[in-house]
Amino acid sequence: MRLLLAPEHGARTNRQRALLFELDQTIQKLRTRLGESEECVALTGHYHNLLRMWAEV
């Protein structure tokens, strides 16, 4: 059985991917500057939480 999704699902997914990509790039740049600072670790945790929330099951 296949789940049918609303047409806007694809656009939303693309925006989510773009947001995760930009967030990941920013975290990597911060890590280069700051190392494993408390803030970088926290942002990485938020990134992973969003990834899990938006993962397709």
Distance of alpha carbon 24 from alpha carbon 47, whole angstroms: 7
Q: What is the pLDDT of residue 50?
A: 92
Alpha-carbon dihedral angle through residues 33, 38, 44, 46, given to the nearest 10 degrees: -140
Whether 47 has a pLDDT exceeding 80, the answer reads yes
Domain ranges, ordered by start, for the chain: 14-54
In tens, the pLDDT along 12-34 reads 788 999 999 999 999 999 999 99
Which phi and psi angles does 11 have, rounded to 5°? Answer: -65, -40
